[in-house]
Structure 1
Amino acid sequence: MTNEQVIERLVQDNWVITCTTKQQVDLVLHACENAEIKWRTGDIATQFIPHESCPICIVYCKYNNYIFYDNGRYEKYYEEHGYENITNCIFDAIKKE
């Protein structure tokens, strides 16, 4: 996947990405910024970096075009409600760039 394809994938549907390291959080937030996806608060994706203890889930809501995060407790809830887990897809694509 090229950078353009990653961006295209990020804005397609609701998704969840589980980050197990701070480096992964940074990669996802930079990709979101490139895709012009902001935090629920309206902040640019890289303006706020939730470096809490990992793992954390970054969740995208297509309807509102924003991201938010949680500590992973609700990952199954999101998947049950149609949010696709694109963790492997995105990290594999980012590594190939």
Structure 2
Amino acid sequence: MTSKKIIERLQQKDWFVKCETEHELALVLNACLDTSVGWYDGRSATDIVYSDPFPILIGRSSKHWNDNLCFYVGLTDEDLKQHQDITDWFFEELRK
């Protein structure tokens, strides 16, 4: 079960998590499912098969995909500066 603190943060926008493995991606997607955050096309967070190489950035952006989940592919460092990297915080909160 995802903590209230994580749910509240994932409901906000302009964040990303860097996933190094399939397992880490699954943890983020399951938390998004609990938060009712899904993909731009209406699919739930866990309704995706990801097959590109890791690491990957996943998050929510107020500028892309209508505030829904997206993979941060091809974004510049300048683009990323507009989003908060919550990677360490997210995985630390899961351990609590």
Q: Deviations over 1:30-60 (max 9, x none)?
A: 0001110001221100011324211001020
Q: Give the gaps of 5 or more residues in structure 2.
A: none
Do the aligned partners of residues 28 and 91 (structure 1) sit closer, same or farther apart at CA in structure 2, a change above 3 Å counting?
same
Report the alpha carbon displacement of residue 74 of structure 1 after superposing the two structures with TM.
2.2
Partner Cα separation in structure 2 for residue 90 and residue 33 of structure 1:
15
Partner Cα separation in structure 2 for residue 90 and residue 28 of structure 1:
8
Partner Cα separation in structure 1 for residue 71 and residue 50 of structure 2:
8
Tell me the SS of whatever aligns to 1:38: coil
Structure 1 position 39 matched with structure 2 position 39: yes
Taking structure 2 as the reference length, what is the TM-score of the superposition? 0.83
In terms of fraction of residues, the more strand-rich structure is: 1
Percent of aligned pairs with the same residue?
A: 28
Q: Which runs of 4+ in 1 moved over 2 A?
A: 61-65, 73-80
Q: Give the gaps of 5 or more residues in structure 1.
A: none
Q: Which residue of 1 aligns with 2:52?
A: 52
Q: Which residue of 1 aligns with 2:77?
A: 76
Q: Which amino acid aligns with 1:83?
A: H
> RMSD in angstroms over aligned alpha carbons?
1.9
What is the count of residue pairs matched by the alignment?
Answer: 93
